[in-house]
Structure 1
């Protein structure tokens, strides 16, 4: 007996193109925080550790995700970081420092060069952040010279003396981190940050004109200075920066699943509001340049906040921000990815924060196993199969109201067309908690295409989690969908995340 379904419709056409998807939208983030570095990517005593002390089991999982770029070394940590502490050797003589953002001891056993080595092993580029909290123009230009200049100067020759003959050629750079936040070491007003960022950008571009720069946007859309910060800082950085950053995390403290799943609509509004502000400054400056967005911190984060208050200060790599993700978290993560794909014309870089142990898709035990959290799966499928052109689907879906949102569509999709592979991919979240969605999808523009795979992530328990050796949430490929007379019929189970992949026969 077929369960009672809710019906929706969608039209997908090759001509309804949003833009080419920049692969960097599937980026991630490693900060010197908790066990992200020490015990996460780097653990010399681990059974799988390679010759550089990097965990091979973690490398394998990161490679599976096909992460194209990783932001480093912070985050809040970068605002009091002296990059010189983490280069050169012998490593045991590197200074141990009080790390003020997270109140731990930083051993500096991993620094710029080690991280570049690790990024190469996982086939990712580095997105480097400079310290505009306690430092500024001088440290930023020196770090860039160290990383990117071929040789014959003090800093580039220092890199060579550290065993790196060839430059690292890091092309994407963040001008500080969350400088609007009072918690930030060296917190600035919009005017102070805008001036410093513009002058730092000027100096960095003189060192290497080929780099791209990210100007700090608001730390989240609830900041009291949100948008005023964007408008005022962009007055200074508009012509020298390529992107403005967005950061946003969501939680479900209220234990209201229907409202939680709608929070990607807040993300959508955030993106569109920042775009409008960028375009206002463009018009005001009579500029021909379009400012793009770098959503370089995004995720679900709320589970670990209470236990983090109990951490002993000044320890080395304590477990911090170790959210254990639920099944419902994975559905929201899927919808957050869909939201960015639907804005791929402006969101060109995005970093799931973070990658290992710290609010992360990958978890490890020190000396033990590494495993996939629930949120690993929507990230994996979207990164691997969401390459190509984002299409704008015309959607007709029944809706619901929740505590904070009205007119929430049960169907939340993103559509990607890969012409080279002759492949059409439909990602979809069914937000309905009780009923399957039967969706009639007009695919007449894709004549001769048929379903090759329908992956479903579903679970009866919204709070189901994955632990070491205990994978309670994982996808299956038994989804119901078929093509008939130019129409794709997709059955999306209640409370599920889906990927339907079609290829030309």
Structure 2
């Protein structure tokens, strides 16, 4: 595999008609009509007890030879901090509905060993429990999203967990937390009642789940300063009945409704497609399938608008990302897959969609953070590498808590292959907390660069400066032998005669500040 060595993509506008063979795509950013704030939690992460997503990938224990702090790998934590992870969801996923929180407190050598029946049938040591998880999020400077056990748990069990985590009283549970090493309450930003209740969380109807949710939520009492936002487990794919029923029946008892959607190249769960070595047909099918997220956001938002026109409820996409066939020679229950440039484009395309729906979409969690599905980081014993998806997340950091700015795309062409077609350019813009306007562009065409003219009506654009992520091959990826084969490179352009045009390389993600 030959990879494109990162270089400096410095571009400038050349004179008039000789510059472009075709009229450029026009991106016009309207700074006079600021939209909603893009919640930082749209860039949330997900760590489930699944394969080496936690054990080995994140947690090695305090006695490991791998440098760690309180059992968490220093190299991985440092990389995640650099990515400005705002939120982590734990302990699942499907694992959440078989997790009993009391198994994960107290002396680690006395905790019960269980079997992870969802993921590989391996032993679950419970070495990582409530206190360890909060050590991690506090080291990251992130918020905590805790998923409660509705499937095999009870209202009492979840109520006691909330009390254990959030009570500042002298109750028996609060004192047990203190005995286990934590004096002051933990900060729980979000708490979900169950997960995928339509499937692994209990095979329920939305109406039955709504009844259970109302019952459980009634008993999840926490003091006002520590009360988490409550999340109802919603639907997936094209089923909007969950968003419809739950927004109608639970709007006074929940802060938001979850939604799950995974991008599969073939669209078939039985044979999903390979993570590497794929043909261009699977490149375009993957991107076309991930762009269906736009339709899902529209349909679920419309269902919620019927009962919540003020948009008080959030739509939380707390599982999303690519799902391929597992790598050969690995445990099928561990969901390990390689991560390529294609995954970086998938991430960026979804970011752009989430920004456009920031009035309703206020939190998402990519699946998953380390070693599982569309991971940010891959580890092997003491080695670690950053994936192209990691770099996409890191490049988009300026959009966290930025103010969405509407833009107009004109002359956008279609990238087409064998009867399939998608827009060639995807774009999003926002004014960041540093006051600068940022623009992100994705070129979905793996063969052709795209010329793009950038303007801010009423303002003169001087230049753009930022970074580009691309490579020579569609399936370019980082390995332990070549851990920096795919990484961002500088990108800049200056205006000529008050006009600015840039060339966006084939199969690339570009994020720039507009000056």
TM-score, normalization by structure 1: 0.89
8 Å CA contact retained: 1:68, 1:123: yes
1:493 partnered with 2:505: yes
Q: In structure 2, how many angstroms separate the alpha carbons of the residues matched to 1:31 and 1:178?
A: 14
- For structure 2, the residue ranges without an aligned partner over 5 or more in a row are 1-17, 267-272, 274-278
Q: In structure 1, how many angstroms separate the alpha carbons of the residues matched to 2:234 and 2:500?
A: 41
Which residue of the other structure, out of 322, 336, 341, is the alignment partner of 1:300? 322
Deviation at 1:202, TM superposition (A): 2.2
Deviation at 1:485, TM superposition (A): 4.8
8 Å CA contact retained: 1:357, 1:364: yes
Q: In structure 2, how many angstroms separate the alpha carbons of the residues matched to 1:260 and 1:5?
A: 27
1:202 partnered with 2:218: yes
8 Å CA contact retained: 2:263, 2:289: yes
Q: What value does the CA root-mean-square deviation take over the aligned residues?
A: 2.3
Deviation at 1:484, TM superposition (A): 3.8
8 Å CA contact retained: 1:444, 1:487: no
Q: In structure 1, how many angstroms separate the alpha carbons of the residues matched to 2:314 and 2:395?
A: 25
> In structure 1, what is the equivalent of residue 4 of structure 2?
none
> In structure 1, what is the equivalent of residue 13 of structure 2?
none
> In structure 2, what is the equivalent of residue 317 of structure 1?
none
> In structure 2, what is the equivalent of residue 217 of structure 1?
234
> In structure 1, what is the equivalent of residue 6 of structure 2?
none
Q: In structure 2, how many angstroms separate the alpha carbons of the residues matched to 1:164 and 1:250?
A: 40
SS at match of 1:426: strand
> In structure 1, what is the equivalent of residue 50 of structure 2?
33
Cα distance change on mapping 1:446 and 1:355 into 2, 3 Å: farther
Which residue of the other structure, out of 463, 466, 488, is the alignment partner of 1:454? 466
> In structure 2, what is the equivalent of residue 227 of structure 1?
240
Q: Which moved more, 1:380-389 or 1:265-274?
A: 380-389
Deviations 1:101-139 (A, max 9, x none): 212211001101111011111111110110010113111
1:237 partnered with 2:250: yes
Q: Which moved more, 1:138-147 or 1:489-498?
A: 489-498
8 Å CA contact retained: 2:466, 2:492: yes
- For structure 1, the residue ranges without an aligned partner over 5 or more in a row are 312-319
Cα distance change on mapping 1:487 and 1:156 into 2, 3 Å: farther
8 Å CA contact retained: 1:174, 1:215: yes
SS at match of 1:282: coil
SS at match of 1:294: strand
Q: In structure 2, how many angstroms separate the alpha carbons of the residues matched to 1:14 and 1:271?
A: 24
SS at match of 2:45: strand
8 Å CA contact retained: 1:4, 1:435: no
Deviation at 1:6, TM superposition (A): 6.4
Q: In structure 1, how many angstroms separate the alpha carbons of the residues matched to 2:73 and 2:314?
A: 35
8 Å CA contact retained: 1:413, 1:427: yes
Which residue of the other structure, out of 29, 33, 38, is the alignment partner of 1:21? 38
SS at match of 2:41: helix
1:474 partnered with 2:487: yes
> In structure 2, what is the equivalent of residue 43 of structure 1?
60
Q: In structure 2, how many angstroms separate the alpha carbons of the residues matched to 1:381 and 1:148?
A: 35
Q: Which moved more, 1:274-283 or 1:340-349?
A: 274-283
Which residue of the other structure, out of 439, 449, 473, is the alignment partner of 1:426? 439
Q: In structure 1, how many angstroms separate the alpha carbons of the residues matched to 2:370 and 2:475?
A: 21
Deviation at 1:498, TM superposition (A): 0.8
SS at match of 1:281: coil
Cα distance change on mapping 1:388 and 1:364 into 2, 3 Å: same
SS at match of 1:467: coil
> In structure 1, what is the equivalent of residue 298 of structure 2?
272
> In structure 1, what is the equivalent of residue 9 of structure 2?
none
Count matched residues. 479
Which residue of the other structure, out of 366, 387, 410, is the alignment partner of 1:373? 387
> In structure 2, what is the equivalent of residue 315 of structure 1?
none
Q: In structure 1, how many angstroms separate the alpha carbons of the residues matched to 2:90 and 2:201?
A: 17
Q: In structure 1, how many angstroms separate the alpha carbons of the residues matched to 2:403 and 2:248?
A: 32
Q: In structure 2, how many angstroms separate the alpha carbons of the residues matched to 1:307 and 1:8?
A: 45
> In structure 1, what is the equivalent of residue 168 of structure 2?
150
Q: How does 1:102-501 map to 2 (within 5 A)?
A: 102=119, 103-181=121-199, 184-205=200-221, 208=224, 210-218=227-235, 220-222=236-238, 226-253=239-266, 255=279, 256=281, 257-282=283-308, 290-304=312-326, 320-359=334-373, 360-366=375-381, 368-396=382-410, 397-401=412-416, 408-418=422-432, 420-447=433-460, 450-451=463-464, 453-470=465-482, 471-477=484-490, 479=491, 481-501=493-513
8 Å CA contact retained: 1:386, 1:416: no
Q: In structure 2, how many angstroms separate the alpha carbons of the residues matched to 1:309 and 1:66?
A: 31
SS at match of 2:307: helix
Deviations 1:372-413 (A, max 9, x none): 01211111111245541111111111224567865x321101
SS at match of 2:397: helix
Q: In structure 1, how many angstroms separate the alpha carbons of the residues matched to 2:461 and 2:428?
A: 21
Deviations 1:172-231 (A, max 9, x none): 1112111111xx15332222211111222222146658321111111x205xxx112322
Q: In structure 1, how many angstroms separate the alpha carbons of the residues matched to 2:201 and 2:399?
A: 40
Deviation at 1:25, TM superposition (A): 0.9
Deviation at 1:100, TM superposition (A): 2.0
SS at match of 1:332: helix
> In structure 2, what is the equivalent of residue 316 of structure 1?
none
Cα distance change on mapping 1:185 and 1:247 into 2, 3 Å: closer
Cα distance change on mapping 1:310 and 1:489 into 2, 3 Å: closer
Q: In structure 2, how many angstroms separate the alpha carbons of the residues matched to 1:340 and 1:207?
A: 32
1:12 partnered with 2:35: no
